[in-house]
Amino acid sequence: MIQTIVYGFTIGAILYFFSVGLALTFGTMRIINFAHGMVYAVGVYLFIAFLKVFDDSFLLALAASVIVMLPVAYLIERFIIRRLYGEGLDYAIIATYGVLLIGTDAIKMLWGTTSQPVNDPVGISIEVADFGLPVYRIAIFICAVVLFLALRLFFKRSIIGKIVIAALEDSDGVRCLGLDVNKYFSIIFVLGSALAVLGGILYAPISSAEPYMGFHILLLAFAVVIVGGMGNLNGTFIAALALGMVMAITGRFWSQAANAMVFIVMALVLIVRSRRLTQD
Amino acid sequence: MNMPADLRAVSHLARSLSPLSRPPRWKIFGELALIVVGILLLSTTIKLHWLTDFIIFFIIVLSFDLLYGYMGHLSFGHMLYYGAGAYGTGLFLVNAGKNPIAALFVGVAVAAILSAVLGLIVMRTHGASFALINMAFNEIGFFIIRSPLAKFTRGDDGLSCNAEKLFGIVDLNDDLSAFLFVGIVLLLVFAFLRVLTTSPFGILVRSIKENEKRVAFFGYDTFRSKWIVFVISSTLAALAGGIFTLVRGFLSPQVISPFGNVEVIFAVLIGGAGNLYGALIGGAIFMLIKNFLPVAIPELSKVVGVKLPQWEMWLGIILLIIVFAMRKGVVGVIRTQWHYRFRVARNAP
């Protein structure tokens, strides 16, 4: 049982890393961003490539791949996402999905279609009640909590964070103050993409990398964003952990039901919320 | 020419509302003849076996175009109804009887009831919520077919189901008769959708796409209209699923996989949404990309000597081009050119 709880927290932590960027893009710009999955997957594959360059130094490879993905994310924001502000939902989905397809195919061309395992960088387990608990999983969870607190501080205290929160509420109002909202949005977009890459790399030793990893996590992350409330950071954190837990617990009893359970929760939340929306 | 987009749409709607400009019924036969010619042209390059798959895909795309193109509701869960129709038909064939018409009827009815119930829920949401709640239901359906119903559907192993001859004469396992059967269904679906979309109800549906609040303000029950369109669209998708089962005789959970939705959406957008020709042309282009590029690219790479990107990348590039350069799809571009050449240029002083 302890193992299940730890596994749930790990999955939840990774989902949180991935969903933060998605929730921010969705909350600020009303764009469902499939390109997030592309940044995530390509980041992990770059990390695997860098591992060879840096003699299996986990942290160096991590830093290098995040740094390489920053300009990629900026270019996606600048030339694709920014042109779609205020457009219909559908065109944003199609364009970012196109980016995701291009990224997936690039991965398949460069690294092949087989999944690539990554070694656990810590490799120690502690014995708790006859179970081996990998320290690495606990470390991931701690990382997620630290990230959550850091983001809270960032959005509460820093000027950029405050502007973005204001723009989440009313971007036209912020524009009227003479601030270039787009600039802040691209900062947030790049930040979110970097976090997705980070989450992907942290997850890679547990799950191993495969070209379609971006697709799979995207669907779960949408559920997190919906359950957490679009653009609500605290909600995203709680929803990610809760859904991770739902997956781990269902997975323990009925492994095939894990994904479906997440979507059942999502459907219920949407039904309840839409009823509230139609009332006013 | 420089009218704002929504005003142009409204004036277009107003013109189609006037009884004088309603297309005459005989025009539909011309259109159907055009489709037959198009399919015959396709048949010169493709094997008949594949063409049947193409036509089944066209029916799904047409049904999705009614929901998305005409009513503006983007769904990520259309394959649920396609899969429900396919599995309903298949399970009937395996467990109850071999009569293809009865099986098809049961499969479509199951999917229609399912969509009628779920439609009550999903049609209360809008925009992103609508797209994602449909995806959630599709994902749940995919799971139900694979796991709890695995005793009946044999899960990922797939289900083989053979029907007896149609009306005792037509053998659907034969390529040519399967093709003719599927082709006739396509023509019927097209004619039905043409009549529906040009009828007053169809115009009401298009008005909902432009501005739902205003339509509700005129006293129409928009929820009921939206629900009806959802059920019709899902039922047509289920019909496509049912005939897929009859023609192929084999089902795997792939038919209900949520990833199929994306293909349907792409096909509608490549051709041009809100336009029945667009659905057909987009479906044809998409299927050609999907079926030919994986074969053509390796051969081409051998000729060029460089490893070329696979079809997914080309599809991605095409999608970006559509979004940034050809919003109205292939048919939209052709139509604008046509309009300019033959209407504007002729009327110019």
> What digits encode the pLDDT tens for the residues A175-215?
888 888 788 888 888 988 898 898 888 888 887 788 888 88
- The continuous run of DSSP H or E covering A128 comes out as strand A125-128
Is any Cβ of chain B less than 8 angstroms from the Cβ of A34?
A: no
pLDDT band at B232 (very low <50, low <70, confident <90, very high): very high
- Residues in CB range of A159: below 8 A, 6 or more apart: none
| A206-216 pLDDT per residue, tens | 877 888 888 88
Cβ distance A276 to A229 under 8 Å? no
Nearest CA to A77 out of A45, A43, A40, A29 is that of: A29
What's the pLDDT tens digit per position in B173-225? 777 888 888 888 899 998 888 888 888 888 888 888 888 788 888 878 888 88
Q: Which residues pair with A126 in a beta bridge?
A: A133
**To the nearest whole angstrom, how far is the Cα of A104 from the nearest Cα of chain B?**
8
Query: Is A248's pLDDT higher than 80?
Result: yes
Nearest to B235 by CA among B59, B96, B37, B16: B59
Q: What is the pLDDT of residue B110?
A: 92
The pLDDT tens digits for B320-338 are: 888 888 777 788 888 888 7
> How many angstroms away from the CA of B101 is the closest CA of chain A?
33
Which one has a higher pLDDT value, B102 or A131?
Answer: B102
Contact A218, A86 (CB under 8 A): no
Please compute Rg for chain B using Cα positions.
21
- A102 closest CB neighbour out of B74, B258, B316: B316
User: In which band, very low, low, confident or very high, does the pLDDT at B234 lie, cut at 50, 70 and 90?
Assistant: very high
How confident is the model over B135-162, as pLDDT tens digits?
888 988 888 888 777 777 777 777 777 7
Q: What is the pLDDT of residues B274-324, one digit of tens each?
A: 788 888 888 888 888 888 877 777 777 777 766 667 777 888 888 888 888
**Contact: B135, A222; criterion CB under 8 Å:** yes
Q: Inter-chain contact B316–A84, Cβ cutoff 8 Å? A: no
Burial class of residue B320, CB neighbours in 10 A (0-12, 13-18, 19+): buried
Full-prediction pTM beyond 0.80?
A: yes
Nearest CA in chain A to B150: A256
User: Closest Cα of chain B to A117: distance in Å?
Assistant: 24
CA A249, chain centre distance (Å): 21
User: Residue A32 has what pLDDT?
Assistant: 81
- What gap in Å lies between CA A194 and CA A90, rounded to an integer? 25
* pLDDT for position B3: 54
pLDDT beyond 80 at A86: no
Are B140 and A260 within 8 A, CB to CB? yes
**Which residues make beta-bridge pairs with B171?**
none
Distance CA A225, CA A33 (A): 12
Mean pLDDT of chain A: 82
Q: What is the pLDDT of residue B61?
A: 92
Size of interface A-B (CB pairs under 8 A): 119
Cβ contacts of A254 on chain B, cutoff 8 Å: 147
The yes-or-no verdict on residue B57 having pLDDT over 50 is yes
Mapped onto helix, strand or coil, the DSSP state of residue B170 is strand
Are A242 and A15 within 8 A, CB to CB? Answer: no
At residue A278 the predicted structure's pLDDT band, cuts being 50, 70 and 90, is very low
The answer to whether the CB of A257 falls within 8 A of the CB of A219 is no
- What integer is the mean pLDDT of A141-150? 87
Closest by Cα among B47, B52, B131 to A230:
B131
User: Does ipTM exceed 0.85?
Assistant: no
Cβ within 8 Å of residue B180, ≥6 positions away = none
Q: How confident is the model at residue A276 (pLDDT cuts 50, 70, 90)?
A: low
Confidence of residue B255 (pLDDT cuts 50, 70, 90): confident
pLDDT band at B5 (very low <50, low <70, confident <90, very high): low
Token pair belonging to A111? 């690294």
Both tokens of A140, joined, read: 């991931």
